[in-house]
Amino acid sequence: MRVNPNPANDILAAIQTTQAQEQTALLQLSSGKRVNTPSDDPSASASEIRNQATEARIDQYLQSVSSLQAQMQTADSTLNSVVTTLNQAVSLGVEATNGTLSDSNKAQIQQQIQGIIGSVVQLANTSFQGAYLFAGTNTTEQPFTEGAGGVTYSGNAGSNSVAIADGRSLQSSVPGSQLFQQPGSDVFGSLQQLSTALQSGTADDINTATAAVSAALNYLSGQRVFYGTALNQLNDDQTNLNQVTVNLKSQDNSLVGADPTKVATQLSQAETAHQAALAAAAKILPESLLDFLPIN
Amino acid sequence: MGSLTGSMLMAANALLVQQGALQATSNNIANANTPGYSREVPILTEATPVVEGNLAFGRGVNLQQIASVRDQLLQFRLYDETQQQGNADAQVSNLTQIENQFSSSTSGIGTDLTAFFNSLNQLATSPTSSSQRQAVLAAGNTLANDFQGTVAQLDGIKQNLNQNVVQSVNQINTLTGEIAKLNTQVSTLQNQGRDPGATEDQRDELIRQLSQITEITAIPTTEGLTITTGNGVPLVVANQSYSLQATPDASGAEQIHSQGQNVTSTLQGGQLGGLLSVRDQFLPTVTASLDNLAGGLAANFNAAQAQGFDLSGNPGQAFFSATAGAGAAASFKVAITDPSLVAASSDGAAGSNGNIANLAAVQTQKLASGETPLDAYAGIVFSVGNATAQAQAASQASTLGLQQVTDQISSVSGVSLDEETTNLIRFQHAFEAAARVITTVDQLTQTVLNMPST
């Protein structure tokens, strides 16, 4: 069997192969990724796309959560102010039942109650980033207007929900009608009742009206729990979502990330192989019979 | 009886023969690096001896032939491996270009899809915010741009493929013309009883180049080599070559004709086969998947829009527009410019976000292909990556195969300079010895001539 007399092509091919291996290892080391194009690992690439979409979605949920937190904290603290204000109204009502009060004193208190109605209307018209918080879904129109016939509500009974995790959404608001004008616990109605009683009613009327305000106050405090619970949930969700993000990142890394130790080993192996190929070339290529013949 | 004159003539002939052998060696050395060159060996034979009585006197050496050393079977294997490599390489280079459109994990249609639906989820937290409505529109436009951009890039690749097809056809025609001419020369030389080695070398090299472009079958016949494509379309028959013609069809795809017949689908293997398989088989499936994704997404999203109301309380109108079926991805765009037209509301009130849940649900709604939009996109990336990886593996395998055959051919036909140097010394010594025979016989003749006459 005759031996292939021209090993140059084979040697070149070997050098190119080891060079390509070196480059692959270098690319993986520098990018930190094992999969740099879909053909490096088609199924890992497809999974990576899904994984990254989930990561981006979770990021969005986190943003939604923090937007909701700001919005609901505003709503919660507004309701807190309403509760404080209503407490004042109840104290004023109790004070007014004291028989020693003169009519002018009652008139003064009635003035204060009117002031309270005004400030509760203002609070109930609180908006967050341009949207009224207690207008149901009709958030572009001021929901409560103080008129001759008492306070009217021009919002609706709708409410919004926001997705905060896959398959889970959170109701983000309670309509103003439910908060302030619930039959039996009507905030504005009871305040108006108190004001009227102070103007022209008996001590019993004032008592009844104060009790009504107190009932509305209790009801509203109960409704506030909705926001408190929601805020707690949002906090929990934030923690969970952050944990999910960490898990996804580590999944992503195991899908397409390069193991630095492994790649560094591969690189040094490729380097050794490359040097061996070069050394072999240097040894084989110059050898020729002509070197050993005398020149005459 | 032997004679001095006989020896003299024998030595003179030996000088000529060794010169001939030296010339063959010298030719081998000169062509040591010529691609496709097969080494030549002088075929020396012993001349028929003269029998006188019980003695047989040798009559020296004959240079019967300078023969090229070749193995035709290995040549055929070389053509096949070359064809496979041409095919795989053409696929790799074009598929890599396609793959580049789907390589980025931080941009492109997949990222846009998620960003678009995220912008809707963000809008849910403040449905009346005009900046967030604008963000939905912007994310929709980015998605539309990437659909259109990707399709445009794929179109560009298709046009390149068409240009390469035309080039390949031209190369085939040039090569088959040359091969037909060399076929004639080879049979002329063979008819004259001469070794057509050098011409065959040229022809083999041209056939190798031809097989790089398309799969061929070479059949030796009495009139010369007949070359057809892998599926029997004649390219060269004896001294006649049959050219192929490339003409674009209605869609602009170059179709290849032989003698008036469309043979495009029968051409396999080689660079041309690789180009055609990417153009006619792979690329259409990618485009169809993108169309399915774009068309389905537009239809589903518009249906969800129609369920809700825009900021002014009017029923939601179409958000995306896209041609149904083929061309959906290329025509995919956002149909509205007014951000208030995003139908977030479910009850007609401006602040309602009730319909966003429906809009966002399109993200998980199955397309006609039975996949969610993102899965459909991931599927495209998988198939592109997989096809590229397969072509790369085929390319590596064919490189090894080609290397093996080339080594085998080289071990049969390659010039070894060591061997030639050795031969040089052998023939030189033989030449010197033959010359010495002549001087010796000359001296002997002198001796005879100087013998004292009586």
Q: Is B384 on the interface with A (CB under 8 A)?
A: yes
Establish if B278 belongs to a structural domain: yes
Establish if B408 belongs to a structural domain: no
Please indicate, yes or no, whether residues B351 and B395 belong to a single structural domain of this protein. yes
pLDDT digits (tens, 9 = 90+) for B148-198: 999 999 999 999 999 999 999 999 999 999 999 999 998 888 888 887 888
CB atoms within 10 A of CB A201: 18
CB atoms within 10 A of CB B3: 10
CB atoms within 10 A of CB B272: 30
- Whether residue A296 is predicted with pLDDT greater than 70 in this model: the reply is no
Q: Is A130 on the interface with B (CB under 8 A)?
A: yes
pLDDT digits (tens, 9 = 90+) for B224-239: 789 999 888 999 998 8
Please indicate, yes or no, whether residues B65 and B165 belong to a single structural domain of this protein. no
Q: Which domain holds residue B24?
A: 4-69+415-449
Please indicate, yes or no, whether residues B162 and B258 belong to a single structural domain of this protein. yes
pLDDT digits (tens, 9 = 90+) for B293-338: 999 999 999 999 999 999 999 999 999 999 988 899 999 999 999 9
Q: Is B369 on the interface with A (CB under 8 A)?
A: no
- Sequence-distant (6+) residues with CB within 8 A of A254 are none
Please indicate, yes or no, whether residues B136 and B229 belong to a single structural domain of this protein. yes
Please indicate, yes or no, whether residues B364 and B441 belong to a single structural domain of this protein. no
Please list the alpha-helical segments (H only) found in B192-282. Answer: 197-213, 270-277
Please indicate, yes or no, whether residues B93 and B157 belong to a single structural domain of this protein. yes
Establish if B409 belongs to a structural domain: no
Identify all chain B residues contacting A39, using CB atoms and an 8 Å cutoff.
Answer: 95-96, 99, 384-386, 388-389, 392
Q: Do B126 and A129 touch (CB under 8 A)?
A: yes
| In contact, B339 and B137? CB cutoff 8 Å | yes
Q: pLDDT-derived band of residue B2, with 50, 70 and 90 as boundaries? A: low
**pTM of structure:** 0.85
CB atoms within 10 A of CB B73: 9
Please indicate, yes or no, whether residues B294 and B350 belong to a single structural domain of this protein. yes
Q: Do A50 and B378 touch (CB under 8 A)?
A: yes
Cβ contacts from A onto B, under 8 A: 191
Q: Is A153 on the interface with B (CB under 8 A)?
A: no
Q: What is the mean pLDDT of residues A202-223?
A: 91
| In contact, B408 and B98? CB cutoff 8 Å | no
- Whether residue B1 is predicted with pLDDT greater than 60 in this model: the reply is no
Q: Using the structure block, give the residue that is written with the tokens 């025609």.
A: B173
Number of structural domains (chain B) is 2
Identify all chain A residues contacting B358, using CB atoms and an 8 Å cutoff.
Answer: none
Q: Is A210 on the interface with B (CB under 8 A)?
A: no
Establish if B157 belongs to a structural domain: yes
**For residue A53, what is the nearest residue in chain B, using CA coordinates?**
B114
Q: What is the pLDDT of residue A240?
A: 93
Q: Do B347 and A169 touch (CB under 8 A)?
A: no
Q: Do A131 and B381 touch (CB under 8 A)?
A: no
Please indicate, yes or no, whether residues B49 and B119 belong to a single structural domain of this protein. no
Identify all chain B residues contacting A47, using CB atoms and an 8 Å cutoff.
Answer: 378
* Spatial CA neighbour of B238 closest among B247, B227, B249, B246: B227
The CATH code belonging to domain A51-251 is 1.20.1330.10
Identify all chain B residues contacting A256, using CB atoms and an 8 Å cutoff.
Answer: 105
Establish if B291 belongs to a structural domain: yes
Q: Do B105 and A56 touch (CB under 8 A)?
A: no
CB atoms within 10 A of CB A166: 11
Please indicate, yes or no, whether residues B155 and B196 belong to a single structural domain of this protein. yes
Task: Provide the residue ranges of all domains of chain A, joining segments of one domain with +.
Answer: 51-251
Please indicate, yes or no, whether residues B444 and B309 belong to a single structural domain of this protein. no
Please indicate, yes or no, whether residues B397 and B260 belong to a single structural domain of this protein. yes
Sort strands B240-241 and A131-132 into parallel, antiparallel or unpaired. unpaired
Burial (CB count <10 Å: 0-12, 13-18, 19+), residue B53: exposed
Burial (CB count <10 Å: 0-12, 13-18, 19+), residue A237: buried
CB atoms within 10 A of CB A296: 3
Identify all chain A residues contacting B408, using CB atoms and an 8 Å cutoff.
Answer: 4
CA distances from B9 to A253, B12, B48, B64, B388 (A): 87, 5, 14, 18, 70
Identify all chain A residues contacting B105, using CB atoms and an 8 Å cutoff.
Answer: 45, 48-49, 52, 256
Q: Do B417 and A288 touch (CB under 8 A)?
A: yes
Pairwise CA distance, residues A171 & A134, whole Å: 13
Q: Is B113 on the interface with A (CB under 8 A)?
A: yes
Mutating which of A71, A160, A291 best tests the B interface, going by the most B Cβ atoms within 10 A?
A160
Q: What is the pLDDT of residue B177?
A: 95
Please indicate, yes or no, whether residues B18 and B119 belong to a single structural domain of this protein. no
Pairwise CA distance, residues B227 & B443, whole Å: 61
Pairwise CA distance, residues B375 & B181, whole Å: 57
pLDDT digits (tens, 9 = 90+) for B243-287: 999 999 998 899 999 988 899 988 888 999 999 999 999 999 999
Establish if B410 belongs to a structural domain: no
Please list the alpha-helical segments (H only) found in A42-201. Answer: 42-97, 103-124, 176-180, 187-200
- Whether residue B454 is predicted with pLDDT greater than 80 in this model: the reply is no
Identify all chain A residues contacting B421, using CB atoms and an 8 Å cutoff.
Answer: 288-290, 293
Element (H, E) at A168: strand A168-171
Pairwise CA distance, residues B258 & B260, whole Å: 5
Identify all chain B residues contacting A60, using CB atoms and an 8 Å cutoff.
Answer: 118, 121-122
Tell me the residues of chain A between 238 and 277 that have a Cβ less than 8 Å away from chain B.
256
Q: Is B412 on the interface with A (CB under 8 A)?
A: yes
Q: Using the structure block, give the residue that is written with the tokens 């000359």.
A: B442
- Whether residue B35 is predicted with pLDDT greater than 90 in this model: the reply is no
